[in-house]
Structure 1
């Protein structure tokens, strides 16, 4: 496959490939992974920022509410200089909770505590105390203060159910961002490792897929598919591909036409048994030009199993109409019949010459002359009878050849003296009679060959009196069992042992039915089979 592909590339049949599939897959998968990871990282960063800010805000608010409820803080507001007490109380708390500042102010916003002692006694900065001082609310705010942008927790200070001040606990935004950055680093490192693993996986996957595709590029596969589809649909042979379960996966238009299938019906996933029943028992077999009867026509079928890792995964079946080769096949069949007849005649003639030679060597001249006259009269009478009663030269030759073959086989072949065939047959009628008559006589010889010599009898009668041309062939063989009669003309059915039988009668029936005739089986007076071939005259000519 690889060598063929390289050779095809050399002559430029495949389209030009712009980007290698492996590189394309690695790049696209990597970009997808990077894009997903970046998007996910940004989302996590945003979510983490919001979460940390929310947590720091809640923490600041909780500390502010706790400080606002300290009795010493409330009592200090009644002193002349509250900052002396309050500053000492909140400083250790600030260090303990890690806040950037804890500011306590009165209702006017004057500071009583601050990390920078120089700012005690000055106004609080930010302008976000009104909700606490005027409405008594505890809340979280984000404002720019004297130390910078910070997240603050605000809580009012009550004394005797009156608001006397406010507590502001804050964490600087820069410090919070440092925490967020430190937390985000682990996320970025993790996603970086995931991207690296993803890229390695993309490389492995791309090599694996390329191997499954026999190292072909998508453009080459597409071109090959279109090329194969064109070949499949343009060929005159019917082609059907099936899977290991016997279901159709591919069928071309020629196959649908030969099988007379509906062109608008999708036969994919249809069982092959519905179209080619004879394939059922030989699905894994390799065969060539096997004759099968499909409907009213004969086809030549080829089958090749499809293997994957030494396991049968399906089969490809090809077939064509036998009628396309019918004339050539019939001509060859006739030549074979003529050859057999000539061989039998030569053999018989040689035997008679030896008899004559033996008589002459023993000086029995009178007996030799008598034998010669007897044989000459016998041959003359047989030839005269066929010449006078059979005007068709091919059927005449067939009967003469079968007579000589019968002599060679030791079979008594008798032709009814009242037989006649003077009607001018059409070419189709002639072909039908030659095919059916030749096969049935051959089967008759086969049926009687194991009998005792005196019991090897085959009788033929034919006539064209009336509206039909009729041939009757009976033998003294064992006959046909009752259970076999319904299957006698089926393709592949045979009472003979061995393989490659069961074609002759199927072909005979097909040939006779093609010209409007029929073949009937009855019980013979001789004890064996009795076949009647009838072909209407009016359909000929």
Structure 2
């Protein structure tokens, strides 16, 4: 890449992965009309190695090296590799870790309840013990009933029940929309739904945490052709100038200065949706609302 952002050399792999025309050599990035994340990767300084960007349906890892002599700037050389499949595998491993975290949260919750029961027994408050146990049983039964009444796929039902425990531990109320419905799914669809729903609920929990009465609503709808997931939170919503960025460049409100190390949950979720002929979109409706569609 020359100092004036002109492509001086591009091999066949670069042309394919960066979605460049075959006659790109000698043309500027403006003339080629490249997507913003490619322009950013090819032209901005890079302090840390292995920046990740979602380009089309691929996760690419970029490394840019400036080329200079003692007297002048000669431009830069950028190398990159396709990390899509590895990133999806990392996401599946992350889902497994998240499941372990959910079990830890449930263990913590049950331990607290047992401590409360033990304390009441030691105080001789036996009527209070019965009332407390009834209340806990009703709360757990309500969650199980709400999910199992509308979600027949065991993987997704277990995910939502476990996520509700994590949300409760963080003081966030997670509820299912009454009109939700999902039958049993083939294995790959179930895995894809786990990735998308898990990421959207985690994102919603972070967003709702600062609200006065944090709440998340999950709606899952199914037709003969597709599954639609809507996750809403009552947080502050998404800044309008970040509405597209959250899906494309590893954007994270937790650490927006890091372009490649985190914030890929939404980008991966959109990638999964698009690979299934669907889409993931965001809007502000009294908080943030994410709608994902996946074709069967």
Please state how far the C-alpha of 1:456 moved relative to its aligned partner: 0.7
Q: Indicate the RMSD between aligned Cα atoms, in angstroms.
A: 3.2
Alignment check: 8 A CA contact 2:146 2:176 kept: no
Provide the secondary structure at the position in 2 that maps to 1:406. helix
Query: What is the CA-CA distance between 1:442 and the residue it aligns to?
Result: 1.7
Aligned residue for 1:274, secondary structure, equals coil
Q: Which residue of the partner structure matches residue 174 of structure 2?
A: 413
Aligned partner of 1:430 in structure 2 is 190
Q: Displacement of 1:355 after TM fit? A: 1.5
Match of 1:207 in 2: none
Indicate the SS of the match to 2:272: helix
In the alignment, what sits opposite 2:16? 257
Unaligned 5+ residue runs, structure 1?
Answer: 1-241
TM-score by length of 1: 0.47
Length, aligned pairs only: 289
Superposed displacement of residue 335, structure 1: 1.2
Shift of 1:413: 0.8
1:417–1:284 distance in 2 versus 1, CA, 3 Å? closer
The CA distance in 2 between the partners of 1:434 and 1:422, in whole Å, is 14
Gaps of 5+ in 2: none
Q: Structure 1 or 2: larger helix share?
A: 1
Higher relative contact order (CA 8 A, sep 6+): 2
Query: Is 1:531–2:293 an aligned residue pair?
Result: no
Determine if the alignment matches structure 1 residue 372 to structure 2 residue 133: yes
- Pairing partner for 1:457 from 189, 208, 215: 215
Query: Aligned partners of 1:329 and 1:284: how far apart in 2?
Result: 24
The alpha carbon displacement at 1:347 in A equals 2.1
- Greater Cα shift, 377-386 or 326-335: 377-386
Q: What is the rounded CA distance, in whole Å, between the counterparts of 1:432 and 1:439 in structure 2?
A: 11
Q: Residues 284 and 420 from structure 1, CA distance in 2 versus in 1: closer, same or farther, beyond 3 angstroms?
A: closer
What's the CA shift for 1:305?
4.6
In 2, the alpha carbon distance for the partners of 1:311 and 1:443 equals: 46
Do structure 1's residue 439 and structure 2's residue 216 form an aligned pair?
Answer: no
With over 3 angstroms needed to count, the CA separation of the structure-2 counterparts of 1:308 and 1:534, relative to structure 1, is: same
Aligned partner of 2:117 among 338, 356, 361: 356
Compared with structure 1, are the counterparts of its residues 423 and 268 closer, same or farther at alpha carbon in structure 2 (3 Å cutoff)? Answer: farther
- Aligned residue in 2 for 1:507: 268
Indicate how the Cα distance of structure 1 residues 322 and 364 shifts in structure 2: closer, same or farther if over 3 A, else same.
same
Could you tell me which of 39, 46, 49 is aligned with 1:287? 49
Would the alpha carbon gap of residues 324 and 532 (structure 1) be closer, same or farther in structure 2, given more than 3 Å must change?
closer
Which SS does the other structure have where 1:499 is aligned? coil
CA distance in structure 1 between the aligned counterparts of 2:187 and 2:20, rounded to whole angstroms: 31
The answer (yes or no) to whether the contact 2:42–2:64 under 8 Å persists in 1 is no
Structure 1 residues 312 and 364: CA distance shift in structure 2, 3 A: farther
1:474 aligns with 2:235: no
Question: Aligned-pair distance for 1:316?
Answer: 4.0
Q: Which has the larger radius of gyration?
A: 1
Aligned counterparts of 2:199 and 2:250: Cα–Cα separation in 1? 15
TM-score for the superposition, normalised by structure 2:
0.81
Give the alignment of 1:65-144 within 5 angstroms: none
